[in-house]
């Protein structure tokens, strides 16, 4: 069986910084309100020349460099974004062109802020199935172009940026260990851009009615964000045969610091094992976890063999949890003989269920033998 190792990571954020202080001059708000309610101090805003493609290309080049891979070796590019340059074609095709990844297949994946974790899951499956060797997964967003800068409910939250990872086929157990994806479309109106799609195509009326801007029901999203992702994270850990204590680092979607704190409290993970950069970038939607993962790696917070839990949620409403093993731990005899490693090998060989049943039968047989011997010796 092949595994999808995260072999490279990169990020790009625009240079232009928009601080809470500057926002105070644009809408009726304050640095104190924004920071205490969201944890955000500033965010990055793309300039007029920057696009989702240009940001993605910069992040991808950095990721390819870390992986030591040439773009011509890429088999597939998945771009998690809801703000591509064009409705048609996919941003992934433009990224493919600019990277010079001639033989890569390319498609966009729209799953709101969960887009990068969705992409990581899909990309990993192309590798574990043996279809591809090298997959590039990007999370990129230029939300600033869809913001009503008079709407204090939304304009204080979002920022622009891109992150990328290179997945490479590996024989050692690494990369995605378990995942859980989902969606509750019934609540799609909690976060959406009503105009510009095929239902309300772009026209002056759509523009005048503000239908090209993000509309958000913050309260509804908040309730969703502090509950569903927790259940999803727990399910994912369970299917990986791990507990929250085995997680070295939780990287949640950087939506709101209060949401992050609530998730951590419910999951029972201390803040020291949670990666947060919302103060610098705000909510960068599909880019948020990709950028955070890259910064965590750059800051040396991940060692080979560490388990990282990625937790995305957002427009859709979607959710995506991914339990990732970082790098490949050095193989020592004690590690190979540990119950966890043995369980993992059995799991990979598809023999875990059989082994568990065999173990249970053996235990039952030993118990019966003990009882029989005990009662015979008592009777004697
Ligand atoms: O990627 C997923 C996307 N989005 C999310 O995850 C967002 C989830 N929701 C949130 O993060 C929070 O709901 C917000 C940050 C959007 C809002 O925070 P809140 O604590 O839920 O505030 P609120 O909407 O209940 O508003 C409280 C008060 C209101 O005033 P009154 O009615 O109490 O007088 C608002 O009008 O704060 C007011 N308010 C503001 N004041 C200053 C709302 N926005 C602002 C603002 N500055 N920017």
Summarize pLDDT for 303-323 with one digit per residue, the tens: 999 999 999 999 999 999 999
CA dihedral (345, 351, 353, 354) positive or negative: negative
Domains, the chain, ranges and CATH? 3-171 (3.40.47.10), 178-325 (3.40.47.10), 333-379 (no CATH)
Summarize pLDDT for 48-71 with one digit per residue, the tens: 999 999 999 999 999 999 999 999
Ligand 1 centroid – CA 370 distance (Å): 64
Question: Using CA atoms, how far apart are residues 208 and 206, in angstroms rounded to an integer?
Answer: 6
**Ligand 1 pocket test target in 22, 256, 262, 287 with most atoms within 8 Å of CB:** 256
Summarize pLDDT for 109-148 with one digit per residue, the tens: 999 999 999 999 999 999 999 999 999 999 999 999 999 9
Are 98 and 12 in contact by the 8 Å Cβ rule? The answer is no
User: Of how many residues is the chain composed?
Assistant: 380
Residue nearest to atom 43 of ligand 1 (CA): 153
Question: Using CA atoms, how far apart are residues 342 and 317, in angstroms rounded to an integer?
Answer: 38
Question: Using CA atoms, how far apart are residues 93 and 53, in angstroms rounded to an integer?
Answer: 9
The pLDDT value given to residue 147: 96
Q: Quick count: other Cβ atoms within 10 Å of Cβ 303? A: 10
The pLDDT value given to residue 3: 96
Give the helix ranges, DSSP H, for the chain.
20-24, 31-38, 52-67, 91-99, 115-128, 152-155, 204-208, 218-225, 228-239, 257-267, 278-281, 288-298, 333-336, 339-348, 352-379
The pLDDT value given to residue 210: 95
Is the CB of residue 33 below 6 angstroms from any atom belonging to ligand 1?
yes
Ligand 1 centroid – CA 153 distance (Å): 6
pLDDT at 330 over 90: no
Q: Please give the backbone phi and psi of residue 72, each rounded to the nearest 5 degrees, phi first.
A: -65, -15
Residue nearest to atom 7 of ligand 1 (CA): 218
Q: So which residues are the catalytic ones?
A: 113, 253, 283
pLDDT at 238 over 50: yes
The pLDDT value given to residue 218: 95
pLDDT at 268 over 80: yes
**Ligand 1 pocket test target in 25, 27, 32, 37 with most atoms within 8 Å of CB:** 37
Full DSSP string of 316-364: TTEEEEEEEE-S-----HHHHTSHHHHHHHHHHTT-HHHHHHHHHHHHH
Contacts 24+ apart (CB under 8 A), 301-305: 301/248, 301/249, 301/275, 302/248, 302/249, 302/326, 302/327, 303/248, 303/327, 304/328, 304/329, 304/330, 305/329
Question: Percent of the chain beyond pLDDT 70?
Answer: 87
pLDDT at 366 over 80: no
pLDDT band at 352 (very low <50, low <70, confident <90, very high): very low
Residue 214 in tokens: 């993000």
Mean pLDDT of 255-263: 97
Summarize pLDDT for 185-202 with one digit per residue, the tens: 999 999 999 999 999 999
Question: Using CA atoms, how far apart are residues 146 and 148, in angstroms rounded to an integer?
Answer: 7
Q: Is the pTM of the predicted complex or chain greater than 0.85?
A: yes
Ligand 1 centroid – CA 332 distance (Å): 51
């Amino acid at each position: 069986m092949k595994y999808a190792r995260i072999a490279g990571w990169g990020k790009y954020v625009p240079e232009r910084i928009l601080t809470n202080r500057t926002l105070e001059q644009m809408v009726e708000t304050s640095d104190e309100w924004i920071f205490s309610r969201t944890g955000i101090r500033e965010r990055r805003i793309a300039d007029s020349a920057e696009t989702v493609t240009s940001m993605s290309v910069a992040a991808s080049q950095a990721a390819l460099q870390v992986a030591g891979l040439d773009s011509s070796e890429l088999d597939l590019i998945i771009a998690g974004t809801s703000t591509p340059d064009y409705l048609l074609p996919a941003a992934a095709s433009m990224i493919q062109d600019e990277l010079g990844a001639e033989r890569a297949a390319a498609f966009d994946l729209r799953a709101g802020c969960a887009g990068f974790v969705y992409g990581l899951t899909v990309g990993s499956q192309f590798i574990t199935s043996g279809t591809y060797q090298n997959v590039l997964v990007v999370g990129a967003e230029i939300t600033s172009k869809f913001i009503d800068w008079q709407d204090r409910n939304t304009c204080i939250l979002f920022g622009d940026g891109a992150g990328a990872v290179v997945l490479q086929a590996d024989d050692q157990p690494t990369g995605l260990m378990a995942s859980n994806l989902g969606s509750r479309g019934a609540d799609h109106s909690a976060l959406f851009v009503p105009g510009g799609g095929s239902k309300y195509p772009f026209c002056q009326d759509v523009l005048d009615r503000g239908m090209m801007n993000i509309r958000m029901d913050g309260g509804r999203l908040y309730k969703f964000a502090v509950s569903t992702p927790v259940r999803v994270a727990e399910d994912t850990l369970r299917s990986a045969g791990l507990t929250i204590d085995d997680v070295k680092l939780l990287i949640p979607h950087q939506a709101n610091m209060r949401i992050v704190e609530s998730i951590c409290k419910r999951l029972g993970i201390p803040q020291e094992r949670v990666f947060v950069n919302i103060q610098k970038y705000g909510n960068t939607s599909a880019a948020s976890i990709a950028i955070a993962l890259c910064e965590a790696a750059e800051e040396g917070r991940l060692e080979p063999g560490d388990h990282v839990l990625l937790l995305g949620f957002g427009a859709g409403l979607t959710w995506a949890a991914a339990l990732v093993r970082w790098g490949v731990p050095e193989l020592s005899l004690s590690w190979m003989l540990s119950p966890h490693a043995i369980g993992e090998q059995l799991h990979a060989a598809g023999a875990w269920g059989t082994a568990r049943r065999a173990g249970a039968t053996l235990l039952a047989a030993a118990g019966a033998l003990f009882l029989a011997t005990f009662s015979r010796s008592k009777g004697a």
